[in-house]
Amino acid sequence: MESTQPKVTDGLLRALQQAASDQHLSVIVRYSASRRMMRHREHIAGVHESYQYRLRPFVHVRATPEAIERLALDPDVVRIYEDVPVRAFLDTALPHVGVPLLWDQGLTGEGVAIAIVDTGLDAEHPDFAGRVADMADFSGEGLGDAHGHGTHCAGIAAGSGAASGGRYRGVAPKATLYSAKVLRASGEGMMSDVIAGVEWAVEKGVQVISLSLGSTGPSDGRDPLSETCDAAVERGIVVVVAAGNDGPAPRTIGSPGASRLALTIGACDDQDRVASFSSRGPTADGRQKPDLVVPGVDIIAPRAKGTAMGRVVDDYYTSAQGTSMATPLAAGVVALLRQAYPSLTPQEIRDRLLSSALDLGDGPYVQGYGRLDAWRAYQSEPSPQPVEPPQPPPSSGPALGEGCLTALLQMLFIGKGRAR
Amino acid sequence: MIPKPAHALNPFDTGAGAIMMCQEAHIGKGEMNMATLDAETRKYWQEHPDEVVSIIVRFEGDAEARTEALQKMGVEVKRRYRLTSSVSGTCPARVALKVARLSWVKAVDADRKLRIFGR
| Chain B residues with a Cβ under 8 Å from any Cβ in chain A | 11-12, 16-19, 21-23, 36, 54, 56, 58, 78-79, 81-84, 86, 88, 107, 109, 111-119
Mean pLDDT of A292-307: 96
Q: Which of B10, B80, B114 to mutate to test the interface with A (most CBs of A within 10 A)?
A: B114
Q: Is the pLDDT of residue A361 over 90?
A: yes
Sign of the four-CA dihedral A79, A85, A91, A95? positive
Q: What is the ipTM of this complex?
A: 0.78
Mean pLDDT of A5-20: 83
- Which option is the CATH number for A90-379: 3.40.50.200, 3.40.50.300, 3.40.30.10, 3.40.50.2300? 3.40.50.200
| pLDDT value of position A55 | 63
| pLDDT value of position A413 | 36
Chains A–B, number of C-beta pairs less than 8 Å apart: 132
Bridge partners (DSSP) listed for residue A371:
A293, A358
Q: Is the pLDDT of residue B7 over 80?
A: no
Mean pLDDT of A198-224: 96
Considering CB atoms only, which of A187, A190, A195 is closest to B11? A190
- pLDDT tier, A58 (very low <50, low <70, confident <90, very high otherwise): confident
**Does the pTM exceed 0.90?**
no
What is the nearest CA distance from A392 to chain B, expressed in angstroms? 31
- As a whole number, the mean pLDDT across chain B is 80
| pLDDT value of position A49 | 74
In B, which residues are within 8 Å of A227 by CB distance? 58, 84
CA A365 to chain centre: 22
- Strand, helix or coil for residue A271: coil
Does A255 touch chain B if contact means CB atoms closer than 8 Å?
yes
Q: Which of A40, A60, A74, A118 is catalytic?
A: A118
Does A261 touch chain B if contact means CB atoms closer than 8 Å?
no
The CATH H-level superfamily of A2-85+403-418 is Peptidase S8 propeptide/proteinase inhibitor I9 (3.30.70.80)
| pLDDT value of position A22 | 87
Fold of B27-110: Alpha-Beta Plaits (3.30.70)
Mean pLDDT of A28-38: 72
A321 and A247 in contact (C-beta within 8 Å)?
no
**For the segment B26-51, what is each residue's pLDDT rounded down to a tens digit?**
333 334 455 789 899 999 999 999 99
| pLDDT value of position A26 | 84
What is the nearest CA distance from A358 to chain B, expressed in angstroms? 24
H or E segment and range at residue A273: none
Q: Is the pLDDT of residue A383 over 90?
A: no
Q: Which of B23, B112, B116, B119 to mutate to test the interface with A (most CBs of A within 10 A)?
A: B116
Does A199 touch chain B if contact means CB atoms closer than 8 Å?
yes
CB atoms within 10 A of CB A14: 12
Question: Chain B: residue nearest A232 by CA?
Answer: B83
| pLDDT value of position A43 | 65
Considering CB atoms only, which of B18, B109, B116 is closest to A119? B116
Q: Where are the domains of chain B?
A: 27-110
Q: How many residues does chain B have?
A: 119
Provide the edge-to-edge strand list for the sheet that holds B113-116: A188-190, B113-116, A213-214
| pLDDT value of position A29 | 86
Task: Supply φ then ψ for residue A52, to 5 degrees.
Answer: -120, 125
- pLDDT tier, A17 (very low <50, low <70, confident <90, very high otherwise): confident
Whether the bond into A290 is cis, omega within 30 of 0:
yes
Q: Is the pLDDT of residue A44 over 80?
A: no
CA distance A349 to A377: 8
**For the segment A60-99, what is each residue's pLDDT rounded down to a tens digit?**
788 999 999 888 888 888 888 877 654 334 678 999 999 9
Mean pLDDT of A333-358: 97
Helix, strand, coil fractions of chain B, as percent rounded to 5: 25, 30, 45
| pLDDT value of position B34 | 55
| pLDDT value of position B16 | 31
| pLDDT value of position B15 | 30
- Flag if A192 and B54 touch (Cβ within 8 Å): yes
Considering CB atoms only, which of B18, B84, B119 is closest to A322? B119
Q: Where are the domains of chain A?
A: 2-85+403-418, 90-379
